[in-house]
Amino acid sequence: MRFLYLSLLLFIGVNCKTTAPQETKPVSWETMHEILASIKPPVFPDRSFLVTDFGAVGNGTMDCLPAFRAAIAKCHDSGGGKVTMPPGAYLVNGPIHLKSNVNLHVPEGATIKFSTTPAHYLPVVFTRWEGAECMNYSPLIYAFEQENIAITGTGTLDGQASSENWWPWASSKTYGWQPGMPSQADEAGRPRLFDWNTREVPVSERILGEGAYLRPNFIQPYRCKNVLIDGPTIRNSPMWVVHPVLSENITIQNIKVISHGPNSDGCDPECCRNVLIKNCYFDTGDDCIALKSGRNQDGRRIGRPIENVVVQDCEMKDGHGGVVIGSEVSGGARNIFAENCKMDSPNLDRAIRVKTNKVRGGTIENLFFRNIKVGEVREAVVRVNMLYPIYSDTSQTFIPVIRNIFVENVKSKKSRYGVYIDGYDAANPVRNVHLANCKFDGVEKGNAIKHAAGLHFENYYLNGNLVDNPAKQ
């Protein structure tokens, strides 16, 4: 497409920090192939460690956590390999902590069932909760500063979360909470953490856990390198499901995420670099894929964007958004590519979504979407919002920047809006949004565009009618 090529040369650059000035290299779909070439899944020695050899019994009632920990330690100390199990149901009363060079392999017919007793996830570990650093309950599967780790196999990981245990902490009657019950909304929970973030209280002093009611994530590699998650079905998470943080060289493929709890985002890479999400299925209670880079002060202090992310061949059912950037995106986001995906559900709110606000801030740029089939979404096919609700009390202002969004060959059958854009104001619009060869049918209210500059439409059809190119007006 001629206009796409020219626009890329004019508007887009890779903003990498370097020790010496370099020429700006244009970002295009060719950049995606360079990113893919740099992502290499870890390889493990050909040796196996059966948890049943360390005392585990797959009867669904015996606590197998000591056996898993012993097998992981032995595998790590032996130079790496595969920790695995025969078919069966393995209860673990606490978190599994992965170590370098360990592949946790859950084969077909095997299920790891995680305890729903909060005390089992103590002592607290260094983690993130909605983009803010803290010491909180351990994620159900956790790794800190490890290299070459994996979770593979076509078995099941079951967090067992429900309205009977973790989910009421979200303070929503939909998930079992009732007035008088404790929740994350209490002063000792979410408000305290976000106040610590605003005041930049040292993370070592942000100790939560018991009494704070902040649910743990399911899978969290934190400051890790060379991560592979391939094959398992992941069900019923307390909160976010797959949440790599400050990690590099990540492959997430062939997984099925089914979790309809509060904030059950399917896959939320945060402040990560070189990430592939491929051939995955998401049926969630929140965003299917949400790319993040830290909340407010923590995101700006650490200053690590989410960058070089490729999403391919995924299917999205229920959720708030299909492929989403934000809202915890204060460290920025750049060089995001999504292609060949399917999104369809009356309970899926948006297909492509960007969300931030004057407190989050962040520079979000170089977003590419193509060959996406959208059946039905509740709100909009393309939603870009610089006025996302703040949900925290702060007077600080960090106006975000959103620019360079390319949407090509996206087709939809039913939605309230086609393109729905809210720039911050006339001085801070969403900039340089391109649509090419898109057909949005069954659109109830048309487009809703406010404070956008540099819009380019080419062969964009709305309810069968060609939409004029704003760039020519």
In this predicted structure, what is the pLDDT of residue 390? 85
| pLDDT(7) > 80 | no
Six-digit token pair at 214? 């902040």
> Tens digit of pLDDT for each residue in 341-396?
999 999 999 999 999 999 999 999 999 999 999 999 999 999 999 999 987 767 78
Position 14 confidence tier, pLDDT thresholds 50, 70, 90: very low
| pLDDT(5) > 90 | no
**CATH domain 1-16+23-38+287-473 topology:** Pectate Lyase C-like (2.160.20)
| Distant-in-sequence, close-in-space partners of 422: CB < 8 Å, separation ≥ 6 | 384, 385, 386, 387, 430, 450, 451
Give me the chain's average pLDDT, please: 94
Q: What is the mean pLDDT of residues 10-38?
A: 69
In this predicted structure, what is the pLDDT of residue 12? 38
In this predicted structure, what is the pLDDT of residue 394? 75
Decide which of 2.160.20.10, 1.10.3720.10, 1.10.1040.10, 2.160.10.10 is the CATH code for 40-242. 2.160.20.10
How many CB atoms within 10 Å of residue 37?
Answer: 8
Six-digit token pair at 24? 């700006």
Please say whether the dihedral angle defined by the alpha carbons of residues 13, 14, 17 and 23, taken in this order, is positive or negative.
negative
What is each CA distance from 438 to 61, 140, 166, 447, 452, in whole angstroms? 53, 41, 42, 13, 19
| pLDDT(473) > 60 | yes
Q: What is the mean pLDDT of residues 110-131?
A: 98
d(CA 18, CA 25): 13
List every span in the chain annotated with CATH 2.160.20.10.
1-16+23-38+287-473, 40-242
Position 10 confidence tier, pLDDT thresholds 50, 70, 90: very low
pTM, rounded to two decimals: 0.94
In this predicted structure, what is the pLDDT of residue 9? 39
Q: What is the mean pLDDT of residues 434-455?
A: 98
Q: 320 catalytic, yes or no?
A: yes
Burial label for 160, CB within 10 Å (0-12, 13-18, 19+), is middle
Residue appearing with tokens 């779909």? 29
Six-digit token pair at 354? 């960007």
d(CA 161, CA 333): 31
> Tens digit of pLDDT for each residue in 225-241?
999 999 999 999 999 99
Q: 158 catalytic, yes or no?
A: no
Of the residues 320, 344, 434, 456, only one is catalytic, namely: 320
How many CB atoms within 10 Å of residue 264?
Answer: 29
d(CA 419, CA 421): 6
| pLDDT(264) > 50 | yes
| pLDDT(316) > 60 | yes
Of the residues 265, 268, 283, 286, only one is catalytic, namely: 286
Write the DSSP symbol of residue 257: E
